[in-house]
Structures are given as structure tokens and as C-alpha cells.
Amino acid sequence: MQKIVVLGSSNVDTTLHVENFPKPGETINAQKVTEASGGKGANQAVAAAKSGSETHFISRVGDDALGTWMLDQLTGYGVLTDRVLKTEGVKTGHAYITLNSEGQNDIIIDHGANYELTPKDVEGAKAVIEDADCVIAQLETPIAATIAAFKIAKAAGKTTILNPAPAIKDLPKELLNLTDVITPNETESALLTGITISGDADLEKNAVKLHELGLKYVIITYGSKGAYVSSPVFTGLVPAFKVKAVDTTAAGDTFLGFLAGGLASDLGNLHDATVFACRASSLAVQKLGAQPSIPDRAAVEAALKEG
């Protein structure tokens, strides 16, 4: 069993279901409103746990009812939450999502307690990080905390995976130097490299630029087309599995959790782990919600057998 540590955000997701996105200045009616546990960090932790991995989560929630509810949700999905800290006087993070009939979404985030995560919090989880096979982080929590976690991981010889989302143009060199695998989507990659992705050839150009920044293993998720991998063990496009998307909210997070859950310690099976992650993501987009849509390992393995 893989041991995974995820450092990142915890949000309550409020989703407005609409036929079409409103135009500037337009007022429209929502078809319905739903709530679920979310946040990129929490989503990835749930996905890692559902992949069959022992998963520890480092995060902060508010000292409010939603914070308690988030902890209950995470525990229910099998995530170990002893390093999820309650933050006095601060609200739990909240994401407001507009979801259209095509399964596409817009998201606005109120970070709340997520921005209170500190390097000191990470130091308190040092033993957990040193015992892990892999550490995952995103950019919905302070970068200083991520750097602290990756320093501990690298000193212990563990794999680090950075999901640079939401996109930030100039990531600290220190963070990039501590990252083994970077996993931007095409928009995030273009911001990092300055190279717009308008076709498959641009994926290779982006990967080359990311390698020049010191990143050895690059995976650019490419929406309905799949994921482009550039690494010492495999380079090429891993095609997506063709499905009818209902809600893409947690697609990328599902990919990350299952990628980590499928990776060997030497990263030699990167291609197979990417296929595994793509299949998991294809199942997630066929259901509504973030964490509720994430499949378990048995469902993904069964789907892979079906093709």
C-alpha cells in the first residue's frame, strides 16, 4: 500500500447549476443549488485514499460548523485527518461554483483558513512526511508551507508532486528545485512557460521549457484529449477515455490522487500510472460534485479491463 501525504486546501463547495453561464450584467435563475466537501487539497486526498493508499492530509479549516463537517466528510472517505488543524476566529474555506449543462464550470474561492497554513504546521507533521512514499501539494495554500513540506520530503528521499493550480506565473525557483513531478493543465503550463498551447505541438514546446526550469518529470493534463507526459521513462500523449462529461469539477484532482496512488517509488511506471489516473478521471466527470464523484480503486480497475 502506498503512503501518501497531501498538503493543501479544504473548502466547502456551493454549486449553482445553470443551463448557460451568465453574461456580464445578466441575472439568471439557478436550476438547483448543491453543497459538497471540496478544495483541491481535500479532493486530492480523497482521491489518493480511494486509490487504495494510506493518505494523510495537512490542512486548516475554520473553528466553525463547516470545519467540523469537512473533517467528518474527509474521515468518511478514509482520509487520516490528525494533521488537519482548526483555526480560531477564521472561517472554513468556501468555493462558489457555477456549473453549466455541458459540465463546464467557473469557480470563485474564499480561501478562509486555508491561508493560515504555516511551515510550523508542516514541521509538526515531519514524521508523517518522512514515512510517506510521496507528497502532493497545490497552490491554494501558502507556498512557504509547501516548500517546508517538500524540503522534509526530499531530505527523506521521498517523491514530490506539485500541481501548480491555481496558476501562478513566477513560481519560486526553490519550489521548482524541490519538485520531482509537475502536473499543470494546459492553461497553467502556458502561464509558467509563456508558450500558449493551441495544438499538440505546443505541448512538447511547453514540456521542453519546463525541463529547462529544472523539472525532470512533466505531465500536462489536456482536458478531453488526455495527458502529455515528458520524462526519462516515457514521452508522449496518453489519450483520454471518451465519456460524456456531466461535471468536470474534480477531474484534475482525481487524476492527481490516482497518479500518486499508482506510481512506483522510482517513477519507472509513469506511463501506466498516467493511464490509471486518466481512467479514474474519466469516471469522476460522469457524476456530479467533487469528492462524491471520485471513484474507488475497484471501479477504476474494472473500467480499465472494459477498455
List the binding residues: 11-13, 39-43, 140, 185, 221-226, 247, 249, 252-253, 284, 287, 289, 293
- In this prediction, residue 91 carries a pLDDT of 97
Count of structural domains within the chain: 1
Residue 98 contacts residue 74 (beta carbons within 8 Å): no
Q: With a threshold of 0.95, does the pTM exceed it?
A: no
Range of the domain at 161: 3-306
pLDDT for 14-33, tens place per residue?
999 999 999 999 999 999 99
CATH label of the domain that carries residue 199:
3.40.1190.20
* Catalytic site includes residue 253: yes
Q: How far apart are CA 73 and CA 80, in angstroms?
A: 11
pLDDT for 177-207, tens place per residue?
999 999 999 999 999 999 999 988 999 999 9
List the binding residues for substrate: 11-13, 39-43, 140, 253
Whole-number percent of the chain with pLDDT over 70: 100
Catalytic residue among 121, 133, 180, 253: 253
DSSP 104-169: -EEEEEE-GGGGG--HHHHHTTHHHHHT-SEEEE-SSS-HHHHHHHHHHHHHTT-EEEE---S--S
List the binding residues for ATP: 185, 221-226, 252-253
